[in-house]
Structure 1
């Protein structure tokens, strides 16, 4: 295995924890400054306990949200900082993934050490991980796409799409994936596991069946499968956002995008929650498909030009946690959704 570097930080560094009051729509209740220079990517654990960032100048680092402590620095070389481009976290934050060019590494949150290292055929362009951290979906600029069985260290599925993969998503239970491409193609698949009765420790083999295929006019910026709602979310850059019913194959919601793209879509209770690159987070009621609430996430420096987008967000017990590309994670308490 390649000599991967991690550093355990025993002392809380000079970060800023701001306990803020005020209007929920504009002001967070807690703010954690993680990277002054900004991020290439960011990921939050679904339980809201951990934040993993890919800093522009200092590699990847894992943070505990409740007290703003940086736990580890992670790089793919002991020689210095790695320009990590993509990161992912399991639901509980115990397994982490970092990507650099064709390299993919998994990490253990308990001790900070690397678990596995993979060298892939071409440059990684998108990354997603299932809920318990056992499978990773990796898209590449060549169109090559792989599902990696991380628990047994093997490749469970591989397929080459016609052009670069620009967005990808694997469901928490590994029963579906969604793929988006540079030319606007969107593909959704059902995933079934083929058990190896002779060798239970062998890497899983997966069988995929196509559920749906869509075409957008421009490159895809976001795709996700929403299992509870049985919807496929897909968006092309600065063009359109569509929610498609997986059973009827018909759109149930469409929005024209002019000044923003979609950076993330999740389901929360009876709402579809949509994050946009203009830092708006919309709560869309599935009963009437109207936007009930919009949260405007502030950026670190209000006086500087725009360009700060939402890297990731999660919702836990009526609280919204957001990591922005400006290197700030913010918590908004008490959404008070009906």
Structure 2
């Protein structure tokens, strides 16, 4: 009986801790419904003025966030069935890339026209990244290979550092010279796209599920599927901080560094948006996005995050997010000294 009472007490304490750690749905500074059908994938332009979403109903839309109106409507492979689960802007906001499991396409944001379409036959595409001017593309594949490709010159480089383990997440530097890749081999690699040589290896105790490069070439973020999320110094390869959270695990579905390098913004499948101090790894602020409408359990995956200055008040600064529920929201972070923007 004593043992049973002790176990029951532990269970109650665990529930109290979980309730205490939960964050209720938060009130954003603004919220716009971008999709009624829900979203498979999303990205926010670096200047915060555009969004690209892949919708459940089959549409790929680019939105003007300043005026809350759609700019372009795209179809991937000319098929109404929507299997596009990766969309990204180039860092200079001039181009976009979209992909399903077997092909990727490049698009101009100046006129919305397609620039090219390429099929990947070897294995399924897991993630994509794009450099400035769409000069280079990075493709993560399920067979462990990462393809670096230059559309204009047709130069192609295969990175084989992950062996045969699936590559889950990739990112490119703005100039396309450096790649960050993470996979099921418990490693993230920073490597040169000019030579294919590894610059740093970031080891994790579990498979790496999310990576992100600071576009100012200062930091790299890598996270596994359990409880190890690290920020690294790109120049030295040494750890700057480990994100501190009391949950047993946090899975990250999106990440972005502020331009000044002081903060990291992350999204997760649990409706959560979190702001982190880069130097300490401490959580500075967190919010819960509005879940999908419909019967319980209601959920929302935060697919895209970014930093944005207020358009009317210079003293206002905002974090922004797009979730699977189809909502674009801005969150007031004026109380924090966040001088960068996405």
Q: TM-score, normalised by structure 1?
A: 0.79
RMSD: 2.5
Instruction: Indicate yes or no: 2:257 matched with 1:237.
Output: no
Aligned to 1:180: 182
State whether residues 185 and 215 of structure 1, in contact with CA within 8 Å, keep that contact through their aligned partners in structure 2: yes
CA distance in 2, matches of 1:291, 1:229: 23
Query: Residues 277 and 114 from structure 1, CA distance in 2 versus in 1: closer, same or farther, beyond 3 angstroms?
Result: same
What 5-or-longer segments of structure 1 have no aligned partner? 1-24, 192-205
Aligned to 1:223: 211
- SS of residue paired to 2:134: coil
What are the Cα deviations for residues 20-63 of structure 1, in whole angstroms up to 9, with x where unaligned? xxxxx922233222223322211111011111111123131111
Q: Give 1:230-309 correspondences, 5 Å limit.
A: 230-254=218-242, 255=244, 258-268=248-258, 269=260, 270-301=262-293, 304-309=296-301
CA distance in 2, matches of 1:56, 1:74: 13
Q: Give 1:114-193 correspondences, 5 Å limit.
A: 114-121=114-121, 122-150=123-151, 152=152, 154-160=154-160, 161-162=162-163, 163-191=165-193
Q: TM-score, normalised by structure 2?
A: 0.79
State whether residues 241 and 280 of structure 2, in contact with CA within 8 Å, keep that contact through their aligned partners in structure 1: no
Instruction: Indicate yes or no: 2:301 matched with 1:313.
Output: no
How many angstroms does 1:258 deviate by?
A: 2.2
Query: Residues 217 and 113 from structure 1, CA distance in 2 versus in 1: closer, same or farther, beyond 3 angstroms?
Result: same
CA distance in 1, matches of 2:238, 2:63: 41
How many angstroms does 1:251 deviate by?
A: 2.4
State whether residues 300 and 328 of structure 1, in contact with CA within 8 Å, keep that contact through their aligned partners in structure 2: no
What are the Cα deviations for residues 152-184 of structure 1, in whole angstroms up to 9, with x where unaligned? 152342223321110111122323211111232
State whether residues 87 and 97 of structure 1, in contact with CA within 8 Å, keep that contact through their aligned partners in structure 2: yes
Aligned to 2:65: 65
State whether residues 290 and 300 of structure 2, in contact with CA within 8 Å, keep that contact through their aligned partners in structure 1: no
Aligned residues: 299
State whether residues 90 and 96 of structure 1, in contact with CA within 8 Å, keep that contact through their aligned partners in structure 2: yes
What are the Cα deviations for residues 271-320 of structure 1, in whole angstroms up to 9, with x where unaligned? 23333333333333345443332233333439742542211111122222
Query: Residues 334 and 244 from structure 1, CA distance in 2 versus in 1: closer, same or farther, beyond 3 angstroms?
Result: closer
CA distance in 1, matches of 2:305, 2:142: 25
